[in-house]
Structure 1
Amino acid sequence: MERALMGDPLSKLTDDVLVDIISRVSYKSTCCCQCVARRWRNLISHPDHRTKLHQPTLAGFFFESYNSTYDYPKMAQYEMGHYYTRVSNDGWPHYHPSLSFLPKCKSLDILDCCNGLLLCRCWKPTYPKTLDYVVCNPATEKWMIVPATNWSSQVEVARLGFDQAASSHFHVFEFITDSVWGHKRGHHDGNIKAVGIYSSKTKGWSHTVTGWGNGTRISSDSKSVFFSGMLHVTTNYLVLAVDVEGNNWKIIHLPMPPCTDNATPKDIFPTQGQLYFANNGASNGFELWVLENYDSEHWTLKAKASYLEMFGTNHSYYDCGYSVISVRPEENVFFIVCGNKASVVSYKMDSLNRNVIDDIVWSKTPYIPYVPLFSDSESLADEHQVLLQ
């Protein structure tokens, strides 16, 4: 009764003071604060406050690996399985890699992760093979089915674009090769001929012939990042970019080639609003570059380390034999997979202290970095209830 007469004391706080208070709690608590009141949600989601509030950080990696069972006298049997490993034991939950909350399917492929959402391919038990895409949020267990196109079952590369700060909707990108895009005769060399783009806002696909020209190929394990409204994906010595409408196309040249002719640089990462390139094919070790000027394609070397500094006296064993799976310049850390045990290792860039996170025998890349999203986009809110009817 006394509090009611006095009024809500929090309502008397100015926006600046309230933002300062919220900035002192963890990211997960910040997400909970959005449920307090509409004013709190608007303050937290406002672009001007993003730099002041805690942002989500890397929690772990989804990946595929071989399960081995020994059945004498048939010897070892190997089957693919899904796994998830945490980067630390600082309270982040362990997300089960089976994603058992998703609809049942014959097999599941995790294709991409973008700002907390996963893009999965769910194969149906039919002949010929058919599939649906599923976009889901492991932190909230919300999901949405994205219907397949006429080309989906033959498409090797599909990626996800999502940025909650810009829009509550996501986009799925299919990269269609010349052999799939209606070309039954003639020479096929696996070049990308067209791109299909699905919008969760319109709930429909659009298709357009690529604006990158001829001779562009994208491997199934190429990295992709989404920022500034464009999806960026790597190929040999290049970064290819396309916007969500399929109107703007861009080619960005990487700062230097890898150490061997058949090596393909795939390690690009977005952080702090910029594009980073981790060159693990440098002749003398590891190099981290940042794209300082997007329009002029000006790259700047931000950090480097020799094989001796990274691996000690056994460095010759790892030369060109490791893969960068995530970089966090704001935390001065990068993550790699290396060695015959496929060890997931974190490195501090200033001290080069090594920390083995996990040992994964018979591993299979890609390793998909996962940053949790504790609030859902509008697209995932109960959409699956509608689509299953």
Structure 2
Amino acid sequence: MDRCQYDSHGYRSLSGNWCPIDASLSFLPKYKKIDLLDCCNGLLLCRCSKPYPETPDYVVCNPATEKWVIVPANKWSSDSYARLGFDPAISSHFHVFELAPAAALNANVKFDYNIKEVGIYSSKAGAWTHQIDWNDPFEICNFSAGTFLSGVLYLCSDNDLVAAVDVEGNCRFIPAPTLDDACGRHDVYVSQGQLYVAYYGAAEASIWVLEDSSIEDYWTLKHNISYLQLFGSRSRGRYGVISVHPEDDVIFITVESKSTLSGDRLLLKLFSYEIDSKELKFICDLGRISRRPYLSYVPLFSESLADEH
């Protein structure tokens, strides 16, 4: 799923099997604005704005069954980041992780985006169960991917660290693998039951796997490829890795390109890249109005969502 024009939402099938879901989320209560924040194992996390000065709601919903749960937000939630943790194989309950930057907590430091507090909401408890003061400098991009694996939320920072926060509020930092590319960035994903880091810069992209999460720097290089190998010498558009297939060795990439038919406006195209065959496949045009976040969504048809409406 992705964000489209005028804060609407779009859904595109990448498997060829179309799932008839309501991408506009019209089954939710009426709100002034709905922002997609995260997706985890078939559930979406949204921040739903109300008329000023009311505090927004977090809403966790299942688009496949049109069931939803309201999570009470905090007074700083409008300016915080939030990610979702959910594993239907273990429980129908979920966790919301709210990461509050200094700018959201103190108006006098409005340009400080280092995370200062982490709140954890448990649907089983029906409350925010942990509030953690974070003293280590850790800054994330608003649309940075977060991923949930074995009860732990993983997040990449802008200073080459991966933060691991479990549902009990315990936190540690893992040095992220890097390349000699000053313009590079990385995001974390789960694939085939393992934690992946996708690192991409102007010259090349690489995929790393954390083989043993108890060893902080035990990353194994799974694959790397140069920009020229991916797109050839004629392409000059910016690109980004936006997701990794949850079960196969496939990554998904967006590429900017100019269209003379649109007055040289930048258009966005979506590709898949198969690691084993090294084959790049065009999937679809995302147009010029699509924007982050791009959320990898696999429908969950189970009716079990704790405390649902």
Q: TM-score w.r.t. structure 1 length?
A: 0.71
- Aligned counterpart, 1:189: 112
Retained in 2: the 8 A contact 1:280–1:323? yes
User: Which portions of structure 1, spanning 4 or more consecutive aligned residues, are displaced by more than 6 angstroms?
Assistant: none
- Aligned counterpart, 1:264: 185
- Aligned counterpart, 1:367: 294
- Aligned counterpart, 1:305: 225
1:159 to 80, 83, 105: 83
Q: 1:258 to 1:130 in 2, by over 3 A?
A: farther
Which amino acid in structure 1 is aligned with residue 73 of structure 2? A
Residues of 2 paired with 1:187 and 1:119: CA distance? 25
Q: 1:131 to 1:83 in 2, by over 3 A?
A: same
1:204 to 127, 142, 150: 127
- Aligned counterpart, 2:56: 131
Which amino acid in structure 2 is aligned with residue 147 of structure 1? P
SS state of the match for residue 255, structure 1? coil
Retained in 1: the 8 A contact 2:43–2:60? yes
Retained in 2: the 8 A contact 1:129–1:153? no
Q: Percent identity?
A: 48
Retained in 2: the 8 A contact 1:235–1:264? no
Q: 1:355 to 1:178 in 2, by over 3 A?
A: same
- Aligned counterpart, 1:112: 38
1:309-367 CA distance string (max 9 Å, x none): 2112324x14xx21111223742321111022211111222233332222122231221
- Aligned counterpart, 1:22: none
2:4 to 65, 72, 90: 65
SS state of the match for residue 234, structure 2? helix
Residues of 1 paired with 2:49 and 2:180: CA distance? 35
Retained in 1: the 8 A contact 2:47–2:59? yes
Q: 1:118 to 1:187 in 2, by over 3 A?
A: closer
Residues of 2 paired with 1:367 and 1:187: CA distance? 27
Name the one with the larger helix percent. 1
Retained in 2: the 8 A contact 1:84–1:94? no
Q: TM-score w.r.t. structure 2 length?
A: 0.89
Q: CA deviation at 1:378?
A: 4.1
Q: 1:329 to 1:148 in 2, by over 3 A?
A: closer
2:67 to 138, 142, 151: 142
User: Does 1:314 find its partner at 2:240?
Assistant: no
Retained in 1: the 8 A contact 2:7–2:33? no
Rg comparison, structure with higher value: 1
Retained in 2: the 8 A contact 1:88–1:357? no
Residues of 1 paired with 2:56 and 2:176: CA distance? 35
- Aligned counterpart, 1:338: 255
User: Which runs of 5 or more residues in structure 1 are unaligned?
Assistant: 1-61, 67-78, 385-389
- Aligned counterpart, 2:19: 93
Q: 1:121 to 1:193 in 2, by over 3 A?
A: same
Name the one with the larger strand percent. 2
Residues of 1 paired with 2:302 and 2:177: CA distance? 37
1:127-147 CA distance string (max 9 Å, x none): 215311110111111111111
User: Which runs of 5 or more residues in structure 2 are unaligned?
Assistant: 258-266
- Aligned counterpart, 1:294: 213
Retained in 2: the 8 A contact 1:225–1:269? yes
SS state of the match for residue 331, structure 1? coil
Task: Output the aligned Cα RMSD.
Answer: 2.1
1:224 to 146, 150, 160: 146
Q: CA deviation at 1:249?
A: 0.7
Q: CA deviation at 1:98?
A: 0.3
Q: 1:264 to 1:185 in 2, by over 3 A?
A: same
